Amino acid sequence: MTAVTEAATATRTLTYAEAVREALAQAMTADERVFLLGEDIGTYGGAFGVTGDLVHSFGAERVRDTPISELGIVGAAVGAALAGMRPVVEIQFSDFTAQAMDQIANQAAKIHFMLGGAANVPLVLRAPGGSGTGAAAQHSQSLEAWFAHVPGLKVVMPSTPADAKALLLAAIDDPNPVVVLEHKLLYKERGPVPEAGTRARLGETAVRRTGEDLTIVATGVMVSRALEAADQLAGQGIQASVLDPRTLSPLDDGTIVNSVVTTGRALLVQEAPKTAGFMAEVAARIGESRAFGHLRAPIGRLCGLDVPIPYAPQLERAAVPQVADIVREAGELVRRW
């Protein structure tokens, strides 16, 4: 697939949360089949304030507060999708999808295939994930590898406000289920966002920065950390490309392979634990591709520790990659090889 290079076409600055809310409002205005459901998304405006005052604009029938039952919420959304609606589910914390995995992985993801294409499940599941808020082990996980492993699910991880809007709109348009994982630390980040309902094609890697010495592939909040690290590396004479897959499934590995062919080195950065993480899949794709013959160094993975996320702030930071860690690992990869 063709890579996407960012273009400064927006004239406004919004937070990531505002961009998500605008996407929801535009989708609901354009299509009366789109409705929202989740815990405390109505009058309260969502656990992280993302849905805001949408209930006042669209009413309680289309911004539906639900009981505390993730299994029931997703089950209702699957049924609504099969009946022709386009539900957008908000799960308060991505960790709580564990309560609904049967509906997500065995129902929503499978029905289109099990019925021979006779039915579709146009369902979007939004879930905030990641560490950094002191929410401890049961509210801070990065679970993208769970969902990317399930055939029938598309998995999206926006890293900028513009992509938060454009990818969510594309997910709502999709005829089958899409899981949108939003990092909690990004909700307050600001950036340019087009007013128009521009869609980003699912399955296109964004090239955030180009350099000839190594390729850094990062997801979610790690994209901004990788870009900050790349600035510091430039001061050391090391020029890094930074690639943001944006869609984990389907994955645009062609853009990643092309970059590694050029640089000969790859550092893959994720917040999730290393063992069986998504970046292991990216490493395998590189190793199985024409990029293998161009590698000048072993493929590097910089990941979270294989531990539950701690509550103590200093331990929480130590459990996941920080900017200094990316600078150190990238510098060593270039200088050693």
CATH of the domain at 81: 3.40.50.970
DSSP codes of every residue in 101-141: HIIIIIIITTHHHHTTTS-----EEEEEE-SSSS--TTS--
Residue 70 among the catalytic residues: yes
Could you tell me if 169 and 258 lie in one domain?
no
Could you tell me if 294 and 151 lie in one domain?
no
- Does the residue 198 lie in any domain? no
Measured over the CA atoms of residue 127, residue 128, residue 131 and residue 137, the dihedral's sign is: negative
* Final residue belonging to a domain, choices 139, 168, 192: 192
Domain region containing 56: 12-192
pLDDT digits (tens, 9 = 90+) for 125-147: 999 999 999 999 999 999 999 99
Query: Which amino acid is it at 11?
Result: T
Confidence of residue 1 (pLDDT cuts 50, 70, 90): very low
Could you tell me if 153 and 226 lie in one domain?
no
Backbone angles phi, psi at 178, to 5 degrees: -130, 130
Does 197 or 233 have the greater pLDDT score? 233
Helix, strand, coil fractions of the chain, as percent rounded to 5: 40, 20, 40
Res 9: pLDDT: 53
Ranges 5-19, 96-110, 253-267: which has the least confidence: 5-19
Could you tell me if 266 and 318 lie in one domain?
yes
Cα–Cα distance, 253 to 199 (Å, whole number): 20
Confidence of residue 7 (pLDDT cuts 50, 70, 90): very low
Res 57: pLDDT: 96
- Does the residue 233 lie in any domain? yes
Average pLDDT, the chain: 96
Q: Any residues with CB less than 8 A from the CB of 45 and at least 6 apart, and which?
A: 51, 52, 53, 55
- Does the residue 201 lie in any domain? no
pLDDT digits (tens, 9 = 90+) for 77-105: 999 999 999 999 999 999 999 999 999 99
Could you tell me if 166 and 31 lie in one domain?
yes
Decide if 14 contacts 50 (C-beta within 8 A): no
Q: Read off the pTM.
A: 0.94
- Catalytic entry in 18, 22, 39, 70: 70
- Which helix (H) or strand (E) segment is 235 a member of? helix 221-235
What's the half-sphere exposure (Cβ side, CA atoms, 13 Å) at 49? 7
* Final residue belonging to a domain, choices 136, 164, 192: 192
Measured over the CA atoms of residue 76, residue 78, residue 82 and residue 88, the dihedral's sign is: positive
Res 4: pLDDT: 53
- Does the residue 6 lie in any domain? no
Res 337: pLDDT: 87
- Does the residue 199 lie in any domain? no
- Residue 39 pLDDT exceeds 80: yes
Give percent of the chain with pLDDT exceeding 90. Answer: 96
Could you tell me if 180 and 285 lie in one domain?
no
Res 53: pLDDT: 96
Extended beta strands in the chain, E state: 4-5, 13-15, 34-38, 63-65, 86-90, 124-129, 154-156, 178-183, 190-192, 206-209, 214-218, 240-244, 247-249, 266-273, 300-304
Using N-to-C axis directions, what is the helix angle for 253-263 and 278-287, rounded to 10°? Answer: 60
Confidence of residue 122 (pLDDT cuts 50, 70, 90): very high
Decide if 119 contacts 89 (C-beta within 8 A): no
pLDDT digits (tens, 9 = 90+) for 40-69: 999 999 999 999 999 999 999 999 999 999
Could you tell me if 288 and 141 lie in one domain?
no
Res 3: pLDDT: 55
- Does the residue 200 lie in any domain? no
Res 11: pLDDT: 60
Could you tell me if 226 and 279 lie in one domain?
yes
Could you tell me if 102 and 137 lie in one domain?
yes
Structural domains counted in the chain = 2
- Does the residue 273 lie in any domain? yes
* Final residue belonging to a domain, choices 133, 160, 192: 192
- Does the residue 177 lie in any domain? yes
The Cβ of residue 132 has, within 10 Å, a number of other Cβ atoms equal to 17
Could you tell me if 182 and 211 lie in one domain?
no
Could you tell me if 143 and 224 lie in one domain?
no
Could you tell me if 147 and 213 lie in one domain?
no
pLDDT digits (tens, 9 = 90+) for 149-201: 999 999 999 999 999 999 999 999 999 999 999 999 999 999 999 999 999 99
- CATH number of the domain at 247, please: 3.40.50.920
- Catalytic entry in 139, 182, 189, 329: 139
Q: Any residues with CB less than 8 A from the CB of 257 and at least 6 apart, and which?
A: 285, 286, 289, 290, 291
